Structure 1
Amino acid sequence: MIHENVTGFDPFPRTVIDDELITPTDKRVFALATDLRQGYTIERLFELTKINRWFLDKFSSIIQFIINHSDASAIEDRSLLLEAKRLGFSDKQIAMYCSSSEPEVRGSREGFDIRPFVKQIDAVPAEWPVQMNYLYLTYHVDNNDVQPITIEATPIFVFGSAFYRIDKMSLIGEDFRLITISDVMSDLQRQSFILDNDTQRQIVQIVLKLLNNTNEEVQNQAVKCLSLLVYKIKEDQIRIICQTLCSNCTNVSTITKQLRYISNLGLKAVMESLIINGNGLDNKAHILKEIMNYFINDIRNEELETTTDLNIIIFMLTKTIKNKNIYWEFHQKLKEIILKLLYSNKKNT
């Protein structure tokens, strides 16, 4: 549930600071692995994390196993391979540390007949026989509590998890933010994924805040996230996004140049998603018209960011050229401001 690209209890490939251990996050476990690899004692880690020493000792056993057996011979020894599986190592992780491949490790494991068994969690101990299928796989036993049902179709497991990573996008540390935003975008692209009203508000606020991040990669990921959010949120939240981005694009007094630039990209990405999601703009045209009005009025008021205004207007006209309603509704207004700008430039020269 941490991330699909994480192979296990692996140390970070970098030095970590004590704050990463002190502050509880969903990535602290990797900082813990890193410091165990670098020689931190259990007592020192307990002082920093307040994690029970029993758990720290178990974590330490995993790292010590990595240190002692990171060579190709480990997959040729049945006892070592069984110990690795009992410590929780995946075949992929074993392959990584033994300079092997996942199929080779799996082949060796199956050759030694090292397979997991199905055990049943007793949710009502000593009261009555267990009926619920709360199951887990383990390498610590040699028998199954539940036998597979004999059916023609292949049995399947259904796994699920909640959309629990939104608040992690605001954590300190670019590694955390980038991984979390990537996870969120993966969820947003799933057709079956639905956000409730509170979650919509929360994620919109956080992603808009990330546009002002000092890391350009985080900013770019936030822009991509906004373009996907449009498909999953209600109109009131779309309006909040558009209003914020419009304001950022034209505010030269309190908004940095970089934020104006990234907001410009974000607004274009959102507009494009609105056009695609609107299926010919039947459902989303009114929001695009509000954006158009905003920038036309900004030019009329002789604001300083005329170039930005025109840039957005041209972008929208280009994307909606087949929609005559938008073009003709703003035809006269556009004609007025263009003539005004031409006259102003001629007068200045």
Structure 2
Amino acid sequence: MDRSIATWPRATPRAFLVAAALAWLALYLLLTPASEALVAALPVARDSHLGAALQFFFYDTPKVLLLLTGVVFVMGIINSYFTPERTRALLAGRAEGSANVMAASLGIVTPFCSCSAVPLFIGFVQAGVPLGVTFSFLIAAPMVNEVALTLLFGMFGWKIALLYLGLGLLVAIVAGWAIGRLKMESHLEDWVRDMPRVAAAADAGAPTLAERIEAGLHSVRQIVGKVWPYILAGIALGAAIHGYVPEDFMAGIMGKDAWWSVPLAVIIGVPMYSNAAGVIPVVQALLAKGAALGTVLAFMMSVIALSLPEIIILRKVLKMRLIATFVGVVAIGILLVGYVFNAVL
């Protein structure tokens, strides 16, 4: 990489932000004509099954990657204001209820995923954050994050993205509050429960704009660099469904009329090892083929919020009864979301 390019954000951060925004917008405006031109250049009829699948793939792949890069960069800058120490300090000592709301809201803007569940959980316990408040954060952080909201906005528009944001926050807040009311601190692993309480550390000082931009670029490298294979796999599967599955085929399996479709979607979703980047393109294709919105939202939430890897990781700090309670409470919330939206939409 040219040294002048590598040092540009630090040397002239405001100019870098303007140039990056203009370049991003120019690429976004080229998506539709470029995808159509690629299909037209191939020996494939545009109105064939393969032509429809290819156009879906050629359009959605760069669109999702562009949206994800832009939002992750912006969220990386925002995340520089919310270090783990500051997050723990904001939540420690607050009463349940309002603290659950704050914890779920912080989960949206903090860069934590299931792989960081154990150290986060330990840090929250040591800082004196109530158990239910901790769960509100741990539910919201993977389920209502910049990746999920970006992909939903890009594929379905702001209404569905806002709907998912509200539903995800509601599930995280209510589930965390319910777990807190059950007073299950005795079901933490003994070594976690017996840890000494420590005060949250003070922040080291505010970063400069250049340092915040570098944090955003680092987030892009870490997050986009990690999830792009899931994006390609998810869009490829979605393209196959879009091109080859008959219209309304999914209505019989994931439609409103089948009462069992919502719990089945949750049961299928829990053991799946995926994330928003991999599952949302599939969700888009399922909806286009007749699946009900509530059922699809329940499936998506179960994949992201109740993933088997996270449950396995949390077993290091939680006893089985508390893990079962966590899974059960969150699953009930997701089921209610699915049934309510199948009834009203």
Q: TM-score, normalised by structure 1?
A: 0.22
Higher relative contact order (CA 8 A, sep 6+): 2
Q: Higher helix fraction: Structure 1 or Structure 2?
A: 2
Structure whose alpha-carbon radius of gyration is higher: 1
